[in-house]
Amino acid sequence: MDQCISMSLKPIWHLIQKIIIFLEALIDSTSFKIFGISEMEEDPVAGKIAIVTGSNCGIGKQVARDLAERGATVILACRNLEAGKQAMNEIKQDIPDAKLDLVRLDLAELASVRKFAAEIKSRYPEIHLLINNAGLCSYKKEIQKTADGFELHMGVNHLGHFLLTNLLLDNLKAGAPSRVVTLSSTTMTISHLKLDDLMMETFKNPTVFTGVSRLPYNNSKMANALFTKELGRRLEGTGVTVYTLCPGIVNTEVFRDSGHFENIIAKTCIALTGIPLAKASLSVLYCALSRKCEHESGKFYRFGQVYRRANRLLKLKDAQELWEKSLQLVGL
């Protein structure tokens, strides 16, 4: 009987958790919009090489613009080359002397990731910044898959970036001090990642109250954070530091594949807690350039602060197990 009661209360508890996290995000995002980040203490980036995935739109394009404005050579890693060319032209209109390069990268295809990495490694022996920004969020009921057979969110948001980062590690070490910044999300705090079922093949149908229908995205964002934790541990003493962060809710194309109802929810959240693109980029730049976090490798950040709720959820054992599983899946 007690177990039945516990099971019946579980959806309510999940709903309460989501409300608490939403209210916390509302307070933090409002404070960030008003006050921003008080002290960046940026390292100079002029003359350095930076890669930004998914830089043809949204946060990625804004980050690419901001880095180019600071004098970095920015490689726009984009799946859609036409959109990438348009982004380049728009940045060049504002920053005529911007140093930009456009290279195709489709994170849904491991072959594309390998081709991109091989080209970059041969052309840029030293890499100073890798911004793993690209991502998608699709709330369709059926499980979607990448060309390699991975669940779509796990394949694109985590495994594609996992492979890319590992293939570029030698160049990042050669460019040290260098940094890897991976964009995650506060939704990782309500994930349900199972290492023995990363592709959610045995997962039961979702329910409205638990919000399980959103779990593929949330799980991929937890994977981003666990990957960063283990990457930070492995790179200790190399001069390469790594960070993951939630940039806040931003009106970007990450929701482009969502259904009508989910789009309404997303737009409502954006209206209440939404962060302007320039401010969202500032959160990324903090982890990429600020001296204030240079000794906090492997941590999860939000709005220029260590996000303690998220970091408490990141267990070393889980991070190590996910790393080994990911190595097998991408063939490293």
CA atoms within 13 A on the CB side of 274: 14
Which pLDDT score is estimated for 242? 98
Active-site residue, selected from the candidate residues 217, 243, 301, 307: 217
What is the rounded CA–CA span in Å between residue 88 and residue 61?
Answer: 9
Mean pLDDT computed over 206-212: 44
What is the rounded CA–CA span in Å between residue 136 and residue 54?
Answer: 10
Question: Does the active-site annotation cover 217?
Answer: yes
Residue 149, Cβ density class (10 Å: 0-12 exposed, 13-18 middle, ≥19 buried): exposed
- What percent of the chain stands above pLDDT 90? 68
> Would you call 201 helix, strand, or coil by DSSP?
coil
Mean pLDDT computed over 276-280: 81
Per-residue pLDDT tens digits for 95-104: 999 999 999 9
Which pLDDT score is estimated for 80? 96
Per-residue pLDDT tens digits for 52-71: 999 999 999 999 999 999 99
Neighbours of 123 (CB within 10 A): 11
**277 close to 291: Cβ distance less than 8 angstroms:** no
302 vs 10, more confident: 302
* Residue ranges of domains in the chain, CATH in brackets: 40-330 (3.40.50.720)
Residue 211 has pLDDT above 90, yes or no: no
- What percent of the chain stands above pLDDT 70? 83
**55 close to 63: Cβ distance less than 8 angstroms:** yes
Which pLDDT score is estimated for 207? 45
The token duo for 260 is 């009508």
What is the rounded CA–CA span in Å between residue 332 and residue 324?
Answer: 10
Per-residue pLDDT tens digits for 24-38: 777 777 677 666 787
